[in-house]
């Protein structure tokens, strides 16, 4: 999937994937990570998710990565923050109190630039990538976060019934990407009300990776 796909989606405001409130599964299961106030959380492919505002409200520091600068500008607008912006090689960094977002290709983000994080929250990254990119992504995420614990949300549905994104990432694929590096525990599996995009039955699974 080319970057132009996502740039075009944001340019034309085709962002049905953007939720109007913090994800209830995040709110319900975040405590499983046992983080302390002030810990730093990485949110890959974050868009302008309200989950970041929720994490900040709970006393965490947030780092994110996002391809679309328009999305990051909207995020800071909605947070009511005026960012400090700097160039970091191929990336652009937006900074505000307790929040730091790297704009550009996540594969250009290095551990030395990201800095230390105590956890990752992946709600929209793994499911946004086609199968041929997911292996590369999961390896890169482990590298830049030093295999930090992770709360992972992903969909499981019949991929033949609907084209992604979001793509189906069933249990066996989660294990294939992560079982060699983490202990995996499924915290919840809930039916997507009305079907995914109203097109097909799906479940949303919540995984704790430690």
- Encode 78-103 in three state secondary structure: HHCCCCEEEEECCEEEEEECCEEEEE
For residue 88, pLDDT beyond 80? yes
Taking the C-alpha atoms of residue 171 and residue 174, their distance in angstroms, rounded to an integer, is: 5
Selection from 39, 50, 49, 176 nearest residue 120 by Cα: 39
Taking the C-alpha atoms of residue 204 and residue 206, their distance in angstroms, rounded to an integer, is: 7
Q: How much of the chain, in percent, has pLDDT values that exceed 90? A: 90
Read off the tokens for 183.
């202990």
Give yes or no for a contact between 199 and 140, defined as CB atoms under 8 angstroms apart.
no
Q: What is the mean pLDDT of the chain?
A: 93
SS3 187: strand
For residue 175, pLDDT beyond 70? yes
Q: What is the pTM of this model?
A: 0.91
Taking the C-alpha atoms of residue 165 and residue 183, their distance in angstroms, rounded to an integer, is: 27
Taking the C-alpha atoms of residue 135 and residue 178, their distance in angstroms, rounded to an integer, is: 10
Tens of pLDDT, residues 44-84: 999 999 999 999 999 999 999 999 999 999 999 999 999 99
Calculate helix-pair angle for 171-178, 131-145, nearest 10 degrees. Answer: 40
């Amino acid at each position: 999937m080319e970057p132009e796909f996502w740039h075009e989606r944001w340019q034309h405001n085709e962002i049905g994937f953007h939720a109007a409130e913090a994800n209830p599964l995040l709110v319900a299961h975040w405590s499983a990570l046992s983080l302390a106030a002030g810990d730093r959380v990485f949110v890959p492919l974050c868009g302008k998710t309200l989950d970041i505002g929720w994490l900040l409200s709970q006393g965490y520091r947030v780092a994110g990565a996002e391809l679309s600068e328009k999305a990051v500008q909207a995020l800071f607008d909605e947070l009511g923050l005026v960012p400090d912006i700097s160039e970091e090689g191929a990336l652009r960094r937006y900074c505000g109190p307790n929040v730091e977002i790297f704009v550009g290709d996540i594969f250009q983000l290095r551990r030395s630039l990201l800095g230390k994080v105590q956890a990752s929250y992946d709600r929209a990254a793994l499911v946004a990538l086609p199968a041929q990119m997911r292996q590369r992504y999961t390896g890169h995420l482990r590298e830049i976060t030093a295999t930090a614990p992770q709360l992972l949300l992903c969909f499981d549905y019949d991929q033949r019934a609907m084209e992604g994104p979001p793509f189906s990432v069933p249990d066996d694929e989660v294990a294939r990407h992560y079982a060699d590096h983490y202990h995996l525990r499924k915290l919840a599996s809930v039916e997507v009300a009305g079907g995914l995009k109203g097109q097909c039955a799906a479940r949303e699974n919540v995984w704790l990776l430690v």
